[in-house]
A and B are shown apart, each in its own frame.
Chain A
């Protein structure tokens, strides 16, 4: 199949992938660790461009610098775009500006809650000055909605989550850390 990569081409043209369509395809790729979220929901798909010589240039940003899913995500984006007919592409990872959970879509936060993971609250700026005892709001239980919860560990099954337990329904749950 011959694919014409043209930013100005109409969406309806057959066998033609517009920039908007490419962004939709890349953005719809599910996160490998939390498959209810797409890359768009997470806010880690930074950009999709088409270069002058027709190469699709995708920019991703990692949630955490050491997140092992980063390589899988890049491979999944490549697979999805190739399946849509893209032949020449480059997937790049950039660190700046640093990803924040504030970029997660509201829709993504609802999906997280339904999946059983407490979504991140608003991000506070990195602490300044002496702050030996951190005060933070408790995560609301995604199962029963109670705020009577307890943090078990600041670190969970993936770098982006912490481990909590609900005192009302006694269920343990993951909470997405606000960073």
Chain B
């Protein structure tokens, strides 16, 4: 028998409903981006990138499994009906997903994907660094583990943004276009939520991560001779179930097998 052991018990006074929602949001970010990155496999510009994006997706999927498993467990403690990682990944519909919209947007060309990766992994790096000292033992254990993986993800995206931005005119223009495409989704990452407010010491207020995130990302963009975009609109609401049409296209591909063959295993 194999079990994934939790690092410790959640203390009784914690708002488990809020904690389940918070963990679900972080798990959905990792899951949906893993699915998007997986779409690059066999389509990346070079085989090393195929492997790199597949590896990053795999790390994210590992994080998603831990987070969704924990969210389902917490939810079960409240409702009496726990759901496992597969139930949560494959049997929820669009409006039940709690990921930020950034992770669901289509891959676009390689520059769009790298712009999204730079933004997301820089955020996740700061998030997991901060969550490493969360008072929730399961979250702090995962964060301390995953921050080391995400350090590589951020570095990978950073290297590519520098190379493309400060490369040829064509690569520069396309990298800038990639940034322009994804930048409207940046503000939403740092939006306050009721869930975070209900979990002092456990959850991390995303606004707190903004200065360190900006330091890194803006430094990279300056070095890469790229301009920080000033978008005319901004996304909002992923954490409360509002999504772009992109998620509706992603989910059937991700869920089809499980829904067609319930309980199927490899």
**A, B in one complex:** yes
Q: List B contacts of A89 (CB < 8 A).
A: 1
B147 and A126 within 8 A (CB): yes
A157 to B148, CA, bound (A): 18
Number of interface residues, chain A, beta carbon within 8 A: 41
A75 and B158 within 8 A (CB): no
SS of B interface (majority): helix
Q: Which residues of B (125-141) have their CB < 8 Å from a CB of A?
A: 129, 137, 140-141
Q: List B contacts of A95 (CB < 8 A).
A: 7, 66, 141-142, 144-145
B62 and A130 within 8 A (CB): no
- Output the nearest chain B residue to A153 by Cβ-Cβ distance: B48
B5 and A92 within 8 A (CB): yes
Which among B5, B148, B216, B219 is the interface contact of A93 at CB below 8 angstroms? Answer: B5
Which among B1, B5, B55 is the interface contact of A94 at CB below 8 angstroms? Answer: B5
- Output the nearest chain A residue to B60 by Cβ-Cβ distance: A66
Mask: chain A, 96-110; 1 = CB below 8 Å from B; 0 = not: 111110000000000
A155 and B148 within 8 A (CB): no
A65 to B7, CA, bound (A): 14
Q: Known contacts being A65-B146, A154-B156, is A132 close to B141, with CB within 8 Å?
A: no
Which among A59, A68, A126, A131 is the interface contact of B148 at CB below 8 angstroms? Answer: A126
B15 interface residue per 8 A CB criterion: no
Residues of B within 8 A of A (CB): 1-5, 7, 48-49, 51-52, 54-56, 58-63, 65-66, 129, 137, 140-142, 144-149, 151-152, 155-156, 158-159, 162, 215-216, 219-220, 223
- 24 inter-chain pairs at a CB distance below 8 angstroms, sorted by A residue, are A59-B5, A65-B63, A65-B142, A65-B149, A66-B58, A66-B60, A66-B61, A66-B62, A66-B63, A67-B62, A91-B2, A91-B3, A94-B7, A95-B7, A96-B145, A97-B144, A98-B145, A132-B219, A153-B48, A154-B52, A155-B48, A155-B56, A156-B55, A179-B149
A64-B58, A66-B65, A153-B49 provided; 4 other pairs, C-beta below 8 A? A93-B4, A154-B159, A159-B55, A179-B148
